[in-house]
A and B are shown apart, each in its own frame.
Chain A
């Protein structure tokens, strides 16, 4: 499942962007050092393949619904973690830019949930450990299905964590978790079966592809360790960068609790808090539209019962009409200054 921009906060988005960007840089460096130039067209075309394959739906037995391939684990098996990660990331970039699937700020989250987890967590730590050497054995089948299931449990877990840390959705952590994990258990089993079927098919038709895939990448003894260190560094740096940003925009939940319990004044004792509170007053919509209005605050409302909301609604209305008018005006002026295009020439050969 793709995270959406609408549900994440800038600190979460920025932190995940930093992690994903660092992994892209790391993987790119690995690929560049690989000196194996047949990987370039292979990754590119396989990215397009994954995109196309995801569009072919299949019916899920006994439910009447339909699903599609995710493909993270499949690519990791075929290409190894670095190339698979870059390929998955590129698919997500296209989805974000052309279909607004996820969104630009949420791209970091999505690259992590859908690309990093299968390629750098499940593939080396689960798949590689379980797969063994015997071809087409029960052990290999179990390893593939289990890896797909684990990848599709960790991904949604991160979605839940990222959503709850952002604090835009009011869903409590446990409810959301109980909602996501069982569904994705089923999805994971189906994904595992499909991945297994495709891998078996490739093994029958062109066994050398899989042999290449296994032989070309001897297991690097320390990749995980290095990676963890890199992330720790990235996390610390972003943590530092993001914390001032985060403190400037107090968490929505905290703000709501403060409003509900009326404890702003209590916390406002220190200098930082007062500064924050004024900034918050400035930046937050409806700063005084709280429970106060319902109970004793009626006298403090200068415009009477309808007043506060009336002023808000009036402002909103005027803003929107202003924008609409300027839009129309801009379109008119742009149309005037535009040279008329001869017919048939419209935007074809770029």
Chain B
């Protein structure tokens, strides 16, 4: 489990180091577009299903332009969607009013809203992961800072991210050592965990003290110098306005239904 999460970090970091039109955009642009996308998706009412489908365009286009591996994201979405599925699965049981009929088969409102939950979940999860995979964590933090997030918190995020790998690897070594000594059974309980985590905590604390001394030696006075590399350009403006306009239109008009109706009227 620990191995998997470290792999995910590495993978997303590696992807964020790529180079494409989307990677080169100002991080703030990507943060804002992602936010607009998520708000548009979750603002649909609980029975929206078809109207949500056009929103698949955003992740598809991003993955295509930024040359990201589709399989990786699909696997992640499946894994993370479980929570939403666990709660959503009650909808078909509780809401059995027939809402749609396909021929003689009636589909209950519960199944429609369940489908809607799954689609929302897939869309919002992909959007969040794509933001990280095209921007990189520290760039997102800087963007949030420039969008008004307090400096202390930006610093906290960056500091934490810096040591995440160090400490997850340390925890991984400890967990592996415990497993090797426990033969799958005894020694995996609360007592062993508490002393392991206690030791990890003490090591962490001492590490923090050493870091602090090292920072003081280098002239740390409670502030950190930040560098701004990118600027908000014309491409950013077009990207931002383009997507937001599209999201608004797709939110107001049900595209699949419009297409379907047009074709039906033309053919009948």
Contacts and interface: CB of A to CB of B under 8 A. Distances in A.
Contact of A45 (B14, B208, B253): B208
Contacts of B246: none
B201 A49 contact: yes
A327 B64 contact: yes
Given A59-B189, A96-B128, A43 B156 contact: yes
> Which of A94, A104, A172, A282 has the most C-beta atoms of chain B within 10 angstroms of its own C-beta?
A104
B27 interface: no
A327 B194 CA distance: 50
B260 A312 contact: yes
A334 interface: yes
A318 B150 contact: no
Q: Is the interface of A mostly helix, strand, loop or mixed?
A: helix
Contact of A97 (B95, B128, B172, B263): B128
Nearest to A294: B98
Given A312-B256, A318-B256, A334-B65, A55 B5 contact: yes
B103 A100 contact: no
Given A89-B153, A350-B136, A100 B35 contact: no
A330 interface: yes
Contact of A201 (B35, B47, B132, B194): B194
A334 B67 contact: yes
B137 A286 contact: no
B42 A311 contact: no
Interface residues of B, number: 145
Contact of B64 (A66, A319, A331, A350): A331
B87 A104 contact: no
A247 to B, nearest CB: 12
Contacts of A307: 264
A232 interface: no
A131 B268 CA distance: 77
Interface stretch (A24-32, A120-128, A264-272): A24-32
B124 interface: yes
A44 B156 contact: yes
Contacts, number: 436
A58 B1 contact: no
A27 to B, nearest CB: 8
A59 B208 CA distance: 30
Interface in B227-268: 251-261, 263-264, 268
B121 interface: yes
Interface in A290-332: 290-291, 293-294, 302-303, 305-307, 309-316, 318-320, 323-324, 326-331
Nearest to B60: A327
B204 A286 contact: no
A249 B44 CA distance: 8
> Which of B45, B222, B263 has the most C-beta atoms of chain A within 10 angstroms of its own C-beta?
B45
A202 B202 contact: yes
B25 interface: no
B193 interface: yes
Nearest to B131: A97
A101 B124 CA distance: 11
A44 B77 CA distance: 29
> Which of B20, B101, B158 has the most C-beta atoms of chain A within 10 angstroms of its own C-beta?
B101
Contact of B95 (A7, A170, A197): A170
B256 A44 contact: no
> Which of A1, A91, A169 has the most C-beta atoms of chain B within 10 angstroms of its own C-beta?
A169
Contacts of A302: 268
Nearest to A196: B194
B211 interface: yes
Contacts of B80: 99-101
Interface string A153-193: 00000000001000111111000000000000000001001
Contacts of A41: 159, 208, 211-212, 215
The 6 nearest A-B residue pairs measured at CB = A44-B159, A315-B260, A347-B17, A315-B256, A197-B194, A201-B198
Contact of A260 (B97, B136, B189, B199): B97
A46 interface: yes
B106 to A, nearest CB: 7
A52 interface: yes
Given A51-B167, A286-B112, 17 more contacts: A29-B150, A38-B212, A40-B156, A97-B129, A97-B137, A103-B128, A163-B87, A170-B46, A172-B94, A201-B194, A201-B201, A315-B256, A319-B256, A326-B61, A327-B61, A330-B64, A334-B20
